[in-house]
Amino acid sequence: MSQIIAILNYEEGFRTNPYIDTEGYPTVGAGFLIGPKGAALSNYTFSLPKQVSDVWLQELVDNRVKQMNAKPAIMAALNKCNPARRDVLISMAYQLGTDGLAGFKNTLAMVAAENFAGAASGMLNSLWAKQTPKRANRHAEVMRTGTYDIYKGLI
């Protein structure tokens, strides 16, 4: 069974109250941008319950999956994935955008060929892995093993 909402809440870091993200944008929940860069937090006087955030997040995930299904290379990879590996690709598309994930051409081709160890290596040999190394290492481990074991105790 998919664990995508729990994974995204962990990877993005859920927060009930608005905050300024690392890029300077007002943000809430699981990384939802709520205003323009540099906007004052005093403009956002609400809190977002986790249950509402999870519904919002699921809607965003569903839309992202529709975008992913429109890309043949991503679709071919998704068709070879169990739920854990599928969640990794969805998480990558959530973080990088569908086009960003589509840029992992060799990795997606390895997933489609069921070369999951090669795909994991390809994931780690990327700018994305340099920018978010802990997330990339967790995702590569899920891709390699096909299990959520690395997330035990985290989600």
Tell me, what CATH number does 35's domain have? 1.10.530.40
Confidence (pLDDT) at 1: 86
Do 30 and 14 form a contact (C-beta atoms < 8 A)?
Answer: yes
DSSP single-letter state for residue 147: S
Strands 15-20 and 32-33: unpaired
Do 1 and 17 form a contact (C-beta atoms < 8 A)?
Answer: no
Domains contained in the chain, number? 1
Q: What is the C-alpha to C-alpha distance for residues 70 and 53, in angstroms, rounded to an integer?
A: 26
Q: What is the C-alpha to C-alpha distance for residues 14 and 139, in angstroms, rounded to an integer?
A: 19
Confidence (pLDDT) at 23: 87
Q: What is the C-alpha to C-alpha distance for residues 6 and 11, in angstroms, rounded to an integer?
A: 9
Q: What is the C-alpha to C-alpha distance for residues 95 and 125, in angstroms, rounded to an integer?
A: 17
The mean pLDDT values, 10 residues at a time, for the chain of 155 residues are 94 94 92 94 95 95 97 98 98 96 98 98 96 96 97 92
Other CB atoms within 10 A of residue 95 CB: 19
Alpha-carbon torsion 42, 44, 49, 55, what sign? negative
Range of the domain at 54: 4-151
Closest CA to 94 of 125, 143, 138, 57: 57
Confidence (pLDDT) at 22: 84
Please provide the distance, in angstroms rounded to a whole number, between the alpha carbons at the two ends of the chain: 14
